[in-house]
Amino acid sequence: MNAKKKSPHAKDLVLLPLGGTGEIGMNCYCYGAGSNDDREWLMVDLGVKFGEDADPGIDVVLPDVSFIAKNRKKLAGLVLTHGHEDHMGAVPWLWPQLKCPVYCTPFAAALLNNKLKEHGLDEDVKVHIIPLGGKFKVGSFDLEFVNVTHSIPEPCALLIKTSHGTVFHSGDWKIDRTPTFGAGIDEKRLAEIGNEGVDALVCDSTNVLREGLSPSERDVAATIADIVKHAKGRVAITTFASHVERIASAVRAARANGREVVIAGRAMRNTIEAARACGYMPDAGEFLDEESFGYLPANKIMLLCTGSQGEPRAAIARIGEDQHPHVALEKGDLVIFSSRTIPGNEKEVALVHNNLAKLDVDLITADEALIHTSGHPRQGELKAMYEWLKPKALIPMHGEARHLRAHAKFAKACGIPQALVPLDGHMMRLCPGSLENVDEATFGRLHVDGKLIVPAEGGPAKQRRKLSAVGAVFVSVVLDEKLQLADDIQLLGDGLPPVLEDDLLDAAEDAFESMPRPRRKDDAAVAETIRIAVRRAADQIWGKKPVCKVLVQRA
């Protein structure tokens, strides 16, 4: 989608989401200050989504940032609110298009540095480390990190001040007044900001459909400690690799019950190393490698592992398939799924659960005990944020379409005068004046296909989807100088019922023989005639039309 219309205001502050609205993941929000033809941009977060079954071979999905890349001379910088993949995972892939400085807290910087090294960019990207609660300036934007609580160390909301108005970008957050570590949410500063004046609140919508308040991480820690205390055999806990607070709670439970801790999963080990480098988990003790698992008594071991979302290559999935090279579980052992299942991952998670059940391993999920709490605000927490900030307008973000719509309605019911549901690629004026969509910009999705970035629309995933449903037929035809077959037509089917191939070969031969001799001079005509005949025959016999590729050669 290309830019269409221009705002009637000479100078304003606009928001252009390129990801994160109408979806959970791929967060990318661009704030623009100035006039239409001379607007300075600030990007907040640059995250990924993970590939779905509908996109075979695609593990990672990126936002299309080509609009900002074309205007990168006016891009002041990229600010990361925290270290989750859906907020910073796209940086190593897309930074070469942007080439801007990056600003984040120490823990996010440690995680980002690992990713940049993997891409060979660690010496190219200028990362400015901002302390918690720090105030800093990026171009003409006056910024401040405001401490909030979430499911990762050092989550920050971002206060954005410009000559055109003030916006509060919440990032991912919740209210947890009894976190097990970290500074907690800065209620005092939030109230001060509200008294100073907030034109617009751009706010997390993930849990807007849920009433009340989110449970505290301390309550989850107490539940895990009690479960581990009464466990007789081996205990394995799988959670999000980035959830340092949950990992720390599990480690404390292990140490209190005389259990050694084994880490399985590179992502979790990298997170723990980054956390320790930033001063977190100082009393956690030493962790053992996977190779140590089989040498410890069953009641003296805890396994911390990746795979809570059913990822097929993750540790707990391989353990469930009894295919892990170093770790095996058996009857009497316990697996704790300390996470919620992200929508879309239900089948994969259920497969892991059932594989573990076949091994006669006991399972506990978040449906059965308080072993997980969300990092996102419910209605009671949203209302508290509104009361602190007293914003003039609300823009919901970080949610599917129903979440955004429900959040806008809830905000108005709570007395916020204006609310506007955003769409990716739609540019909305935040201030001065009323909320209004004023322009549109190029947006969309990109696929990470192996080591390459390819378009999502019309890219290879679409062809793979078709191949997965109907298979493929490859036909080779060799013609001599007299425009006759120099050899028998060769046909190879892939993903077809074997009994079909002889009939398709007959169809190809009949189609060629029926062609007038003059048309056989045209390779494209020969190929298309045979292609149509093969697909038609397959449809008549099988009820499906396979992908058909015909190669015509001259002897």
Residue-wise pLDDT tens digits, 518-552: 999 999 999 999 999 999 999 999 999 999 999 99
- What number is the average pLDDT over the span 93-101? 97
Residue-wise pLDDT tens digits, 305-327: 999 998 888 999 999 999 999 99
Whether residue 81 has pLDDT greater than 60 = yes
pLDDT at 104: 98
Count CA atoms within 13 Å of residue 237 on its CB side: 34
Residue-wise pLDDT tens digits, 436-487: 999 999 999 999 999 999 988 888 888 898 999 999 999 999 999 999 999 9
Q: Are 25 and 48 spatial neighbours (Cβ–Cβ below 8 Å)?
A: yes
The answer for residues whose C-beta is within 8 angstroms of residue 340's C-beta and 6 or more apart is 366, 372, 374
Angle in degrees, 0-180, between the axes of helices 187-196 and 379-389, rounded to the nearest 10? 50
pLDDT at 4: 46
Does the global pTM surpass 0.85?
yes
Distance CA 241, CA 61 (A): 19
pLDDT at 9: 53
Whether residue 3 has pLDDT greater than 50 = no
Whether residue 1 has pLDDT greater than 90 = no
Whether residue 59 has pLDDT greater than 90 = no
Whether residue 286 has pLDDT greater than 60 = yes
Residue-wise pLDDT tens digits, 106-135: 999 999 999 999 999 999 999 999 999 999
Report helix, strand and coil shares of the chain as percent, to nearest 5: 35, 25, 40
The answer for residues whose C-beta is within 8 angstroms of residue 226's C-beta and 6 or more apart is none
Please provide the average confidence, as pLDDT, over all residues in the chain.
Answer: 94
The answer for residues whose C-beta is within 8 angstroms of residue 445's C-beta and 6 or more apart is 26, 49, 61, 62, 63, 64, 456, 457
Distances in whole angstroms, Cα of residue 458 to Cα of each of 48, 84, 151, 454: 20, 29, 36, 9
Residue located via tokens 């001063």: 279
**Cβ atoms within 10 Å of 60's Cβ, excluding its own:** 18
pLDDT at 10: 63
Please give the single-letter amino acid code of residue 188. Answer: K
- What number is the average pLDDT over the span 66-86? 96
Residue-wise pLDDT tens digits, 196-225: 999 999 999 999 999 999 999 999 999 999
Residue-wise pLDDT tens digits, 153-194: 999 999 999 999 999 999 999 999 999 888 799 999 999 999
Q: Are 413 and 425 spatial neighbours (Cβ–Cβ below 8 Å)?
A: no
pLDDT at 11: 86
User: Roughly how many angstroms between the first and final C-alpha of the chain, as a whole number?
Assistant: 48
Dihedral angle, C-alpha 290, 292, 295, 296, nearest 10 °? -90
- Which of residues 6 and 547 earns the better pLDDT score? 547
37-51, 52-66, 129-143, 401-415: least confidently modelled range? 52-66
6-15, 162-171, 227-236, 377-386: least confidently modelled range? 6-15
pLDDT at 484: 94
For the chain, give the percent of residues with pLDDT over 90. 86
The domains located in the chain, with CATH, are 12-212+374-455 (3.60.15.10), 217-364 (3.40.50.10710), 471-554 (3.10.20.580)
